[in-house]
Chain A
Amino acid sequence: MTATPEFPPLVEAYLADLDRALASADPRERAETMAAVREHANESLTLHGTDDESARRVLAELGPVEAIAAEATPATPPAATAGGVEAIDVVLPVLAVVLWPLAPVTLVWAIIRRRAGVGSRVLQWLTIVLSAVPVLGGIVLLLLHSMSLLAR
């Protein structure tokens, strides 16, 4: 499985091209395709010989790397999992306004969800902004109060 036989330079270049062409493919499909094509090339070269002409014939049978890449499933972009609206993303901005003393909790919660890349980014930003207002306001009032106490 891990054996990597030596190929003629033409075949090595083809395999490198194929690996690049599969860069945006599903990672498991990419790895399995690479392993299987290597095996196919090796088997074919054993049958036909490893001279340049045989290598060209084997590569012609395998076909253009673009055609193989076109058959592969594109990798699921991480952004595809984000963007969906989940109930918690709707509840958090509402809580941040209605139960504003809980703003620090909703703020941290929204930041964690944002960093995890799940749910609706727009609603998470809204929660962050709505929570930040009472949190920052509270801090400012606390500082002003402390200063007025110190000034006495």
Chain B
Amino acid sequence: MIPTPDMVLTQLRKGVVEYCVLACLRSGPAYGLELAERLGTDSSLLTSEGTLYPLLSRLRQQGWVTTTQVPSAVGPPRRYYELTDEGRATLETFTATWSRFTADVRTTLES
């Protein structure tokens, strides 16, 4: 069977998108909708915006992000997600590993 681009994307997202979410929080805390926008609404990283939330729940349970309820001027309190020190260290490890991995993938694909 020849996989469709969607099938390839689904496989590639696994184990990568969570670090992209951490990377989006590097610049500062964000609430859900804001974070979805930072990830890019038309980007290939998320299947849809809703898929971000189970992922965020896992990141929180892993201790890589924390959540805080902050009052909002326009509606109910917003749940802000913030990178923890552990999350920041995890992201650094991923970034270093990813650079090496992508370089190797590129070299292999282009050989």
Binding site for B on A (CB under 8 A): 1, 3, 5, 18, 25, 28-29, 32-33, 35-37, 39-40, 42-44, 46, 61-65, 67-68, 70-73
Contact = CB atoms under 8 A, between A and B. Distances in A.
What 7 A-B pairs are tightest by C-beta distance, nearest first?
A: A63-B48, A62-B50, A32-B57, A72-B54, A36-B53, A68-B50, A71-B51
Interface residues of B, number: 25
Provide the main secondary structure of the chain B interface. Answer: helix
Contacts of A25: 54
Contacts of B31: 39, 43
Given A28-B61, A29-B58, A73-B58, A39 B32 contact: yes
B67 to A, nearest CB: 8
A40 B75 contact: no
Contacts of B60: 32
B53 A68 contact: yes
B69 interface: yes
Nearest to B14: A71
A18 B54 CA distance: 12
Contacts of A39: 31-32, 76, 78-79
A65 B74 CA distance: 27
Given A5-B76, A39-B78, A46-B75, A28 B32 contact: no
B9 interface: no
B51 A43 contact: no
B41 interface: yes
Interface in B66-91: 69, 74-79
A6 B32 CA distance: 19
A1 B33 CA distance: 17
Given A1-B69, A61-B48, A67-B51, A36 B58 contact: no
Given A28-B61, A46-B74, A40 B50 contact: yes
B48 A62 contact: yes
B93 to A, nearest CB: 22
B75 A5 contact: yes
Nearest to A36: B53
15 contacts: A5-B76, A18-B50, A28-B57, A32-B53, A39-B31, A39-B32, A39-B76, A39-B78, A40-B33, A61-B41, A62-B50, A64-B48, A67-B48, A71-B51, A72-B54
